[in-house]
Structure formats: C-alpha cells, structure tokens
C-alpha cells in the first residue's frame, strides 16, 4: 500500500470542497428559515391584532344586545300599558281628553 501524497491531497481538497458546499447550503437554509420565521412572526402579529379587533367588536355587540334587550323590555311594557288602557275606557266612545268649553248638544231654542 503506497502512500501517494498527491492522491491524498486531492482527496482532502475534494472533502474540503464538499464540506464548503454543505456549509453554503446550510447557510442558505438558515437564511431561508430566518425569513420564514420573520414572516410567521408578522403573521402572528396580524392575527393578534385581528383578535383584538374581534374582541372589541364582540364587546360592542354585547353592549348593543343589552341596549336592544332593555329597549325591547321597555316597548313590551308600553304595549301592555296601552292594551290595559284600551280595555278600561272612562266613558263609552271616549276619544281622549274633553274640550275645555264644549257647546251644549242639540238645536238652539226658537229655531224652526
């Protein structure tokens, strides 16, 4: 088994070139992964902002629902009061408040 220094040198050069190539590829992969991580962080921030917006919108909708529920209760109460008032008229054919100085009913005396 002869020790050929040129062959060993070529072998080592080939090994170094191979390692350099793997190193370049690893650096490129690392850079690609860094960019991907940055994109994911930006996307995560967007989702967090959207989540905050949705929470605010949800709170506004809760407040609106509560306001509408209260208004609904108020309108139901007014409807019940109006229905009760409709059933207990003060006099037959009552149309609300009377005139302050009404004219007397019928014809004036002395008219033909």
The full set of domain ranges for the chain reads 16-85
**Planar angle of CA 97, 102, 104, nearest 5 degrees:** 135
Does the global pTM surpass 0.95? no
Q: Which of 20, 21, 42 is nearest to 34 (CA)?
A: 42
d(CA 3, CA 11): 13
Which two tokens mark 89? 């008229």
Phi, psi for residue 30 in degrees, rounded to 5 = -60, -45
pLDDT tens, position by position, for the chain (112 residues)? Answer: 467 888 889 999 999 999 999 999 999 999 999 999 999 999 999 999 999 999 999 999 999 999 999 999 999 999 998 888 777 665 556 667 788 888 888 777 776 5
Give the residue carrying structure tokens 């921030």.
45
d(CA 102, CA 87): 26
């Amino acid at each position: 088994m002869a020790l050929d220094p040129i062959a060993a040198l070529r072998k080592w050069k080939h090994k170094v070139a191979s390692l350099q190539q793997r190193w370049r590829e690893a650096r490129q992969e690392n850079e690609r992964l860094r960019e991907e991580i940055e994109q994911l962080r930006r996307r995560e921030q967007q989702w967090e902002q959207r989540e905050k917006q949705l929470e605010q919108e949800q709170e506004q909708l809760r407040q609106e629902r509560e306001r509408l529920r209260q208004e609904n209760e108020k309108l139901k109460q007014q409807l019940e009061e109006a229905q009760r008032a409709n059933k207990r008229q003060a006099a037959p054919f009552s149309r609300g408040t009377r005139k302050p100085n009404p004219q007397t009913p019928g014809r004036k005396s002395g008219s033909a």
